[in-house]
Amino acid sequence: MRKTYSSDISREQFELISGILGAVKVKTKEREVDLYEVYCAIQYRLKNGCTWGNLPHDFPPYSTVFYYYRTLQRRDGIRKHITC
């Protein structure tokens, strides 16, 4: 169980947008990362302005979070889906 951050949203709120993040990567095998945690990590970074490498260690690896962020950003603009 990780620490709760002020940038987190509820899992119920995440369910409303989970399909957007889930469609970022072609699913070729069972996903090993919790997309809710990825989303919360992106929110944390945008709210606090830290570097990717300085994300708290209880989030997924920053390289994974960055991958989803960049892919979604290129796809249709992440600011449409991220709330700070």
pLDDT at 76: 63
Measured CA to CA, the distance from residue 49 to residue 65 in angstroms comes to 15
pLDDT at 61: 96
Q: Report mean pLDDT in 10-residue bins for the chain, 84 residues.
A: 93 89 74 92 94 95 93 68 53
Sign of the Cα torsion 67, 12, 10, 79 reads positive
Measured CA to CA, the distance from residue 42 to residue 30 in angstroms comes to 22
Tokens read off for 49: 């302005």
pLDDT at 65: 95
Measured CA to CA, the distance from residue 84 to residue 73 in angstroms comes to 16
What are the start-end ranges of the E strands in the chain?
none
pTM of this structure: 0.81
pLDDT at 77: 56
